[in-house]
Amino acid sequence: MRIFVASGIFHPDSGGPATYLYHLLPELQARGHEVRVLTYGSAPITGYPYPVTRIPLQSLPIRLMKYALAYRKGAAWADLIYLNSLALPRSGDQHKPRLMKVVGDYAWERSVNHGWIAPTQDIDLFQQRRCGLLAEWAKGSRSREVQSMDRVIVPSDYLRRMVMGWGASRVQVIYNALDPDIPRPALSRAQARQQVGWPQTAHYLITAARLTAWKGVDFLIDALAHLPDIRLAVAGDGPQFEALRARATEKQVAGRVEFLGKIAHERLALYLRAADYLALYSGYEGLSHTILEALSAGTPVIASNRGGNPEIVRDGENGLLVQHPDLGALITALRSAFAGDTPQRLAAGTAQGLDRFSWPCLVEQTVKALVEVAGATS
């Protein structure tokens, strides 16, 4: 069939949605389907085995109009429309089968980014509470959009429940998968530490995230003030970068917190292998690729018990789940994480259950969903 893919970002942009499509679309072609892509950006459109249309990031009204016109053309060509993002300017698709992938609450993220709600506003409470006029408008817009889809796919059961709360009735879980092109370092932890320059006997946590308020890096820094034997590496950048550096100085732990900035995936894989634990104490995760990458590197995880984290991290088997937000609980968990043989015991369990997050499994389930939606509405 002819599949028109509409997205906000696409290769070579960074980010999970862009990488996901870049790997998925050749799989669709290998099964005999035709593909066309519409996205924003100004990168080259050549070098792909399918047509790619990019709408430059001009002034907002112009780019929305151009996207909507290009979308109408793609929708007219397609047998099926696959939307990889909420809130795209759509036109002319009312009578075409539509499947959408949702990886988070666009209304909450937009409300945080525009200052319509506090940056620390809990996403789960956001679903239940009445907020200001603009935030409520964003909620209504995303709810109407998912309700209009023939099917919505999400990467966790946590998000399935959330999206069904928006009024969508046809929601399917297809778990995220490890990027098949990211090399996994075939090194021991000692070898990885030597390459990144870390002392062999030190206790190391690494956290990797876009540095926003809900990622909880401030909690990790605060916890270190009570745990003098633990060091923390922070991979990533974002709006909280300078504030977190200042917080480390304020808490007198700057000498034990290493800010790596944004690093390449290959380099991150090396750091994940070198660390004793990945720490992800965030207030929200749909389903974390970083957790999957850590476990595939043999590194156990200390994570908040929020969002999709409990669907990957099995407490006491491949990591520890920690009540959130609770600094005392985090301090207790970090102490216990380095007690006795706990690091070795949890590391031994990291491979168990990862088959649920394999790339072939994701591809087969996604292709089946696309075919089903097209067949049900033809």
How many whole angstroms separate alpha carbon 376 and alpha carbon 378? 6
Say if strands 80-83 and 301-304 run parallel, antiparallel, or are unpaired.
unpaired
How many whole angstroms separate alpha carbon 195 and alpha carbon 61? 49
First to last CA, the chain: 11
Query: 61 preceded by cis ω (within 30°)?
Result: no
How many whole angstroms separate alpha carbon 302 and alpha carbon 321? 6
Residue numbers in the chain where pLDDT is lower than 50: none
Residue 35's pLDDT is: 98
Query: 180 preceded by cis ω (within 30°)?
Result: no
| H/E run at residue 105 | none
Residue 264's pLDDT is: 87
Residue 185's pLDDT is: 65
pLDDT digits (tens, 9 = 90+) for 153-210: 999 999 999 999 999 999 999 999 987 666 666 899 999 999 999 999 999 999 999 9
Residue 120's pLDDT is: 87
Query: Hunting for tokens 């060091």 — which residue is that?
Result: 231
Say if strands 257-261 and 171-173 run parallel, antiparallel, or are unpaired.
unpaired
Residue 13's pLDDT is: 86
Full set of structural domains in the chain with CATH: 2-179+358-377 (3.40.50.2000), 189-355 (3.40.50.2000)
pLDDT digits (tens, 9 = 90+) for 18-44: 889 999 999 999 999 999 999 999 998
- Bin 115: left if φ > 0, else alpha if -120 < ψ < 50, else beta: left
Tokens of 166: 């928006």
Residue 182's pLDDT is: 65
Report yes or no: 68 and 75 within 8 Å, Cβ to Cβ. no
Range 24-33 contact pairs with CB under 8 angstroms and sequence separation of 24 or more: 24/362, 24/363, 24/366, 25/50, 27/363, 27/367, 28/3, 28/367, 28/370, 31/367, 33/1, 33/2, 33/3, 33/370
